[in-house]
Amino acid sequence: MSAYALFADRVLTDEGFAKGSCVIVQDGQIVSIISTADCPVDIVRAKLTGDLVPGFIDLQVNGGGGVLLNDRPSVEGIRKIAEAHRTFGTTGLLPTLISDDLDTISRAIAAVDQAIAAGVPGILGIHLEGPFLNARKKGIHDASKFRTLDEAALDLITSLKNGKTLVTLAPELVACDMIRKLNERGVIVAAGHTAATYEEMDAALACGVSGFTHLFNAMPVMESRAPGAVGAALGSPSAWCSMIVDGHHVHPAMLRIALAAKGAERIVLVTDAMPSVGSANESFDLGGQTITATGGKCVSVDGTLAGADLNMAQAVRNASLMMNVPIESAIRMASANAAAALGISDKSGAIRPGLSANFALLDASGFVSATWIDGVEYRPADGSTT
């Protein structure tokens, strides 16, 4: 791939927004970031209107573009999901499987392996949200799918050959030895849909749990004499916490409390997106239940939250407003922090020489007008912003 240079109004680097910068890309990687005046004259140039920022990385994407991974655990299903989220600035994602049987898990893992091998843009691995969860905090998950993490299941969920595997489990129901085995086989373990006590969660962190899936949701509230999973999450100096910042899952005051306790570098934005994102269809089926996207949220007929009708560009805008942080901090929660949680900071998550050329171009209102994945540009077919 020939080298080219991108000129934007501002570029978000590790030091903050910079004006007058030229980002040189070749063979899908960032070669250098230099001043506009020093940019070579014999290189292809593209003048961009807006802010060039790191592409977003989403650790929890159940669906998009009318597709739910559980229903279409195939390369084409994954491609459709990735295409829908790419429109909103997501350049890397983990297709996420909601609790299901081992056969569906096997097909989803195989599909992700095949998608990565086939070069489907933006696929970083898989997130298995369950089925090793606590029925007391099942949320919208089908508790009949829940099971014990035994050796057979361990072999299956650690079988991905390409990319990263993130597993969300209830650590009070999983032996410490099993968590260690997951870590030894390269799996990232997060706690979620859990009723663990503070003591149980503290022990699980020592065993290898490194993060928390959608903090505050599907876990007991923190009390003065029972801090529980939330207390353990907020008190851990190293654990990352993903959060769904859609204005429905978590009150803005709780978002700010988490920020104060964890610091901006330990907060990871996720969408928990459902098929409605990037689709005109507002209803879909989830395990026999009809889910409807209405008022910015996805709910079952009884009003239970069922994932989210949220894209990452909106999550970034929401985080900036609800958490009272500069937009660059919110962007890093959706890029650098997610990359760190996955252990891929040496490959993606920032605009820095040597990293993959994964970018989003934001207009003055924070909407996305273009994305780049490994140096390849993608724009909405109608030229709109999203």
Render pLDDT for 199-222 as a digit per residue (tens, 0 to 9). 999 999 999 999 999 999 999 999
The answer to whether 157 is a known ligand-binding residue is: no
Is residue 384's pLDDT more than 80? Answer: no
Given 51, 58, 142, 272, which residue is catalytic? 272
Which has the minimum average pLDDT: 32-41, 181-190, 309-318? Answer: 32-41
Whole-number pLDDT of residue 301: 92
Is residue 52's pLDDT more than 70? Answer: yes
CATH 2.60.40.1120 holds for 4-53+351-378? no
Structure-block tokens of residue 121: 């843009």
Q: How far apart are CA 257 and CA 269, in angstroms?
A: 15
Q: How far apart are CA 241 and CA 233, in angstroms?
A: 7
Is residue 115's pLDDT more than 80? Answer: yes
Q: How far apart are CA 188 and CA 60, in angstroms?
A: 13
Write down the H helix ranges in 118-197: 151-157, 176-184
Query: Own/partner pairs for 157-161, CB < 8 Å, 24+ apart?
Result: 157/105, 157/109, 157/128, 157/182, 157/187, 158/182, 158/185, 158/186, 158/187, 159/106, 159/109, 160/109, 160/112, 160/113, 160/125, 160/126, 161/113
Whole-number pLDDT of residue 175: 96
The answer to whether 239 is a known ligand-binding residue is: no
The answer to whether 249 is a known ligand-binding residue is: yes
Q: Strands 67-68, 29-35: parallel, antiparallel or unpaired by DSSP?
A: unpaired
Whole-number pLDDT of residue 340: 98
Whole-number pLDDT of residue 383: 59
Whole-number pLDDT of residue 287: 87
Whole-number pLDDT of residue 20: 92
Tell me how many helices (H) and strands (E) the chain has. Answer: 10, 23
Residue 177 annotated in active site = no
Q: Highest mean pLDDT range out of 143-157, 280-294, 370-384?
A: 143-157
Q: pLDDT over 70 for what percent of the chain? A: 98
Is residue 136's pLDDT more than 80? Answer: yes
Is residue 1's pLDDT more than 70? Answer: no
The answer to whether 217 is a known ligand-binding residue is: yes
Q: How far apart are CA 93 and CA 73, in angstroms?
A: 15
The per-residue pLDDT of the chain, averaged, comes to 96
Minimal CA–CA distance to 68: which of 40, 35, 100? 100
Whole-number pLDDT of residue 382: 57
* Strand-pair partners of 297: 294
Q: How far apart are CA 240 and CA 215, in angstroms?
A: 10
Is residue 334's pLDDT more than 70? Answer: yes
Residue 345 has φ and ψ, to the nearest 5°, of -65, -20
Is residue 145's pLDDT more than 70? Answer: yes
3-state helix, strand, coil in the chain (%, to 5): 30, 30, 45
Is residue 308's pLDDT more than 70? Answer: yes
Structure-block tokens of residue 241: 């916490």
Q: pLDDT over 90 for what percent of the chain? A: 94
Q: How far apart are CA 30 and CA 375, in angstroms?
A: 8
The answer to whether 315 is a known ligand-binding residue is: no
Residue 49 has φ and ψ, to the nearest 5°, of -100, 115
Minimal CA–CA distance to 218: which of 99, 336, 337? 99
Contacts of 253 (CB under 8 A, 6+ apart): none
The answer to whether 281 is a known ligand-binding residue is: no
Q: How confident is the model at residue 379 (pLDDT cuts 50, 70, 90)?
A: confident
- In the chain, where the domains are located: 4-53+351-378, 55-342
Whole-number pLDDT of residue 380: 77
Is residue 381's pLDDT more than 80? Answer: no
Residue 80 has φ and ψ, to the nearest 5°, of -65, -45
The answer to whether 218 is a known ligand-binding residue is: yes
What CATH number belongs to 55-342? Answer: 3.20.20.140
Section 216-229 average pLDDT: 96
Q: How far apart are CA 233 and CA 229, in angstroms?
A: 6
Whole-number pLDDT of residue 386: 73
Whether 55-342 and 4-53+351-378 are alike in CATH topology: the answer is no
pLDDT tens, 66-103?
A: 999 999 999 999 999 999 999 999 999 999 999 999 99
Higher pLDDT, 161 or 384: 161
Minimal CA–CA distance to 347: which of 148, 125, 150, 61? 125
